[in-house]
A and B are shown apart, each in its own frame.
Chain A
Amino acid sequence: MSLPSVLAMVPEDSGGPYVIAAYVVFLTIVVTYVAIMAQRLGKLSRKADEIEARLDARDAAAKAGSGSVPDGSPAAVPAEPSKAPEGVA
Chain B
Amino acid sequence: MTVRGLRPLSILSVALIAIGFGLVFFYAPLDADQGFRQKIFYLHVPLGIIGLIGFIVGGWHGLRYLRTGDPSHDLKAYVYIHQSQIVAVMVLITGAIWGRTAWGAWWRWDEPFLVSFLFLFLIYATYQVLRFSIDDPQRQARAASVFAVAAGAFVPVNFTVVRMANEYLHPRTLDNAANGGLPGPVLVTFLVCFGAIAVLYVTLVKYELLSKSTTFRLRALERRAGGDDLLPRRSAVLQA
Chain A positions within 8 Å of B1 at CB level: 89
Q: How far is the CA of A34 from the CA of B216 in the complex (A)?
A: 20
Q: How far is the CA of A11 from the CA of B37 in the complex (A)?
A: 9
* A40-B211 in contact (CB<8A): yes
Answer whether A51 and B222 are a contact pair too, CB < 8 Å, given A14-B101, A87-B239, A89-B75: yes
The interface bits of chain A over 68-89 (1 if a CB of B lies within 8 angstroms of the residue's CB, else 0) are 0000011111100111111111
* A76-B36 in contact (CB<8A): no
Name B34-84 residues within 8 Å CB distance of A.
34-37, 39-40, 43-44, 47, 71-72, 74-76
Answer whether A48 and B101 are a contact pair too, CB < 8 Å, given A81-B224, A87-B74: no
Any A CB within 8 A of the CB of B212: yes
Chain A positions within 8 Å of B97 at CB level: 18-19, 21-22, 25
Which listed residue (A25, A73, A83) contacts B93, Cβ 8 A? Answer: A25
* A86-B40 in contact (CB<8A): no
Q: How far is the CA of A47 from the CA of B74 in the complex (A)?
A: 26
Query: Total interface residues on B, using CB and 8 Å?
Result: 56
9-residue interface stretch from B124-132, B145-153, B228-236: B228-236
Answer whether A44 and B214 are a contact pair too, CB < 8 Å, given A74-B226, A89-B76: yes
- Highest count of chain A CB atoms <10 Å: which of B74, B213, B237: B213
Name A18-42 residues within 8 Å CB distance of B.
18-19, 21-23, 25-26, 29-30, 33-34, 37, 40-41
Chief secondary structure at chain B's binding surface: helix
Any A CB within 8 A of the CB of B215: yes
Q: How far is the CA of A83 from the CA of B218 in the complex (A)?
A: 12
Answer whether A77 and B227 are a contact pair too, CB < 8 Å, given A22-B93, A25-B93, A84-B216: yes
* A15-B102 in contact (CB<8A): yes
* B224-A77 in contact (CB<8A): yes
Chain A positions within 8 Å of B213 at CB level: 88-89
Any A CB within 8 A of the CB of B163: no
* A85-B90 in contact (CB<8A): no
Which listed residue (A21, A41, A83) contacts B211, Cβ 8 A? Answer: A41
Any A CB within 8 A of the CB of B209: yes
* B214-A41 in contact (CB<8A): yes
* B40-A19 in contact (CB<8A): yes
Chain A positions within 8 Å of B221 at CB level: 48, 51-52, 55, 81
10 new A-B contacts at CB < 8 Å, known A16-B36, A40-B211, A87-B74: A14-B35, A33-B86, A33-B204, A52-B221, A55-B225, A84-B217, A87-B236, A88-B212, A89-B212, A89-B213
Interfacial residues, chain B to chain A (CB-CB below 8 A): 1, 21, 34-37, 39-40, 43-44, 47, 71-72, 74-76, 86, 89-90, 93-94, 97-98, 100-102, 200, 204, 207-227, 229, 233-237, 239
Interface CB pairs A-B, < 8 A, 17: A15-B100, A19-B40, A22-B40, A26-B43, A41-B207, A75-B227, A78-B224, A78-B229, A83-B220, A87-B74, A87-B75, A88-B72, A88-B213, A88-B216, A88-B217, A88-B236, A89-B212
